[in-house]
A and B are shown apart, each in its own frame.
Chain A
Amino acid sequence: MAGAKEIRTQIKSIGSTRKITKAMEMVAASKMRRAQERMQMARPYARRMRNVVAHASSASAEYKHPYLSDREQINTVGYIVVSSDRGLCGGLNSNLFRKLVVSMSDWNDKGVKMNVCVIGKKASAFFKRYGANVVSEATDLGDAPQLERLVGAIKIMMDDYIEGKIDRLFVVYNNFVNTMTQKPTIEQLIPIIPSEEAETQHHWDYIYEREAQEIIDTLMTRYIESLVYQAVADNNACEQAARMVAMKSATDNAGKLIDELQLVYNKARQAAITQELSEIVGGAAAV
């Protein structure tokens, strides 16, 4: 019986694959918890920032920031695409890119050009194949993304907006709903969509120490950065959750495969023994 040995080797190799996927699942689970915490911790800043921006924009300051006014003529749009650095996380990145491609071809039909800023290696690899005007890139952020690593890439997009090279800026990322659900999301960053609550408040203004313009500029920059950071933190939590689920199903599949192979192996072994016995009996009868 020739099959028995090969089946045994195959079982062993699937067994070690299962060990790896099991380990990856557990690592992803613990990383997910931390990523979720990080995501939660980033929320207060964005929320406070939003309040301050709402106040500053509703306050009757003599200076209106370019991020607040919508442009009628749209020639070019910008995308900040947030993806993971590593693979093996199910359909996380491909779902996101699919949604993005639909949105991009919409703009393309209207004759609008696109500039892209990529965050994460997967997006970088995707646009290499897809072909787009990639103006900036930030990769290798690690499990604890730091804002400083993103600042440069975001700044290029914001400068482009001020200079009129792009007329709208979107951020594309996976929104963390829960461990099982990650929602691919495209959000408009600039022009900032005003929140309703800001409109109803009575008018008052801050005392600005230094020029109002300078402070509002800084405020807007930080606000956009915080939104992008939030997107990166969300995406990171999504990545770990998706990887955990993907690895769990891989582990389960490996287990099923081993069970099946074990059955085949036992049958093959039984057949070999039966054959050997009948050969011996037959041989003895001939003598």
Chain B
Amino acid sequence: MATIQVDIVSAEQEIWSGEGTMVFAPGEVGELGIAPGHTPLITRLNPGDVRVVKEDGEEEFIFVSGGILEVQPHHVTVLSDTAVRGHDLDETAALEAKKKAEEALEDAASEMDYAQAQAELASTIAQIRSIEKLRKLRK
């Protein structure tokens, strides 16, 4: 029986890899069934189960939280997301990262003051020391 190589990977790890006679995936437009020899196709996936029917008839279920499905005649690649992603969610994350950078810059101002104070303190201490030395010499 003809089989198709299936690789399910995420950015953090390789999730599953093996041969199957049929693959079902939750495409964005609708559930997809892919048999060996399918024409090249590319689509986004919704969060859901990818089902692989193996040669011995057993089925493998792999949950993906969205991603991209690429089909070649003898190869199916699922590039899974590591978490549920959405435009709004990404936007919030971006805002957070920006806020963090701005906060860090504000902190920088206070740290700068601290550095300046430290420098002033050091020079004052040096002055005191030289005055003390002078006094000792006079005695």
Q: Which residues from chain A sit less than 8 Å from chain B, CB to CB?
A: 38, 41-42, 44-46, 48-49, 51-52, 55-56, 117-118, 124, 128, 134-139, 146-148, 151-153, 155-156, 159, 204-210, 214-215, 218-219, 222, 225-226, 229
Contacts and interface: CB of A to CB of B under 8 A. Distances in A.
Interface of B: 7, 9-14, 27-29, 32, 39-44, 67-68, 70, 77, 79, 81-83, 85, 90-98, 100-101, 104-105, 107-108, 111
Contacts of B93: 148, 151-152, 155
B9 A44 contact: yes
Contacts of A136: 94, 97-98, 100-101
Contact of B42 (A48, A148, A153, A215): A215
Contacts of A146: 12, 82
Nearest to B32: A209
Contacts of A159: 94
A80 to B, nearest CB: 11
B11 A229 contact: yes
Given A147-B12, A152-B93, A215-B44, A52 B68 contact: yes
A44 B7 contact: yes
Contacts of B29: 209-210
Contacts of B83: 147-148
25 contacts: A48-B9, A52-B79, A55-B40, A56-B42, A117-B101, A128-B108, A136-B97, A136-B100, A137-B104, A138-B100, A148-B82, A152-B92, A152-B95, A152-B97, A155-B91, A206-B70, A207-B41, A208-B41, A208-B42, A208-B43, A209-B28, A209-B29, A209-B44, A210-B44, A222-B79
Q: Is the interface of B mostly helix, strand, loop or mixed?
A: mixed
| Chain A binding surface, main DSSP class | helix
Nearest to B90: A155
A209 B31 CA distance: 11
Given A42-B13, A45-B11, A209 B100 contact: no
Give 7 closest A-B pairs by Cβ, nearest first.
A152-B93, A209-B43, A152-B97, A153-B97, A136-B97, A41-B13, A137-B101
A41 B13 CA distance: 5
Nearest to A225: B11
A215 B67 CA distance: 10
Contacts of B111: 128
A58 to B, nearest CB: 12
A42 B68 contact: no
